[in-house]
Every structure is written in C-alpha cells, then in structure tokens.
C-alpha cells in the first residue's frame, strides 16, 4: 500500500486574485509546490471550491472545500484586510498630525525685540 506524503502548509510568497469579467466570479491561484500548475480556489458566493482532490470531493458532495489551498487564500484575505486597515489608520493619523502642525504654526506669535529680550534674557 502506497502512502501519499503531502506538505501541511503552503510556502508560496504570492497568491493571485482574479475576477472573471464574464460572470464576476472571484478566484485565487495558489502556486503549487509539487506541480507546475497552480491550484484554483474559487468562491461562488456560497461555497468555496478548489481543483485539488479534496476540492473535487467537496464539489461532488456539495460541501465547502476546506483544503490547505483554501486556508492559504483565507489567510491572504485576512492579512490584506489587516494591512489595508493599518494603512487607513496611519493615513488618518497623518491627517490629524498635519492639522495639529498647521494649528501650531498659526498659533505661533512673533515677539517684538523687547518681548524677546524679556522672555529669553540671560542677564537679570
């Protein structure tokens, strides 16, 4: 009896998101470590599907696919969302900082020579 060995994780550095212009389906292409062709993971609005063996089994039984390729896509989606949220928060902080700097610059009062000497005098 032959045993199949499968890596439990995806080591790909990039997943490719593709949206069909024909029907609007969104799919991700997950690079495969053991073959040349990437795995295609799709979401039809209800169920996730994949072209791997588990994905084909899930499609035959009309259940959600939960293979490692699907998990890689889910992690990618969550990571991208977290990065977008972080960038949005950073942009908001920069806008707030810009407003604070502008307000500070407007609040600076120019001292006359006499006021300057009185304020910063080293001799009393």
**pLDDT per position as a tens digit, 82-123:** 988 899 999 999 989 888 888 777 666 677 888 888 877 776
Report residue 28: phi and psi, to 5°: -120, 140
Report d(CA 76, CA 117) in Å as an integer. Answer: 62
Q: What is the mean pLDDT of the chain?
A: 81
Does residue 68 fall inside a structural domain?
Answer: yes
Report d(CA 83, CA 113) in Å as an integer. Answer: 51
Please give the pLDDT value at position 1: 47
Report d(CA 27, CA 11) in Å as an integer. Answer: 19
**Count of domains forming the chain:** 1
Does residue 100 fall inside a structural domain?
Answer: yes
Does residue 98 fall inside a structural domain?
Answer: yes
Structural domain including 69 reads 16-107
pTM (2 d.p.):
0.60
């Amino acid at each position: 009896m032959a045993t199949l060995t499968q890596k439990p994780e995806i080591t790909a550095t990039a997943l490719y998101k593709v949206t069909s212009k024909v029907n609007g389906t969104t799919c991700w292409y997950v690079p495969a470590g053991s073959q040349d062709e990437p795995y295609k993971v799709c979401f039809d609005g209800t169920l996730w599907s994949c072209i791997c063996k588990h994905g084909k089994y899930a499609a035959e039984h009309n259940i959600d696919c939960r293979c490692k390729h699907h998990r890689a896509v889910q992690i990618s989606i969550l990571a991208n969302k977290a990065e977008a949220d972080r960038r949005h928060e950073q942009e908001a902080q920069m806008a707030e900082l810009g407003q604070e700097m502008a307000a500070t610059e407007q609040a600076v009062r120019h001292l006359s020579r006499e006021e300057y000497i009185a304020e910063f005098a080293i001799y009393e």
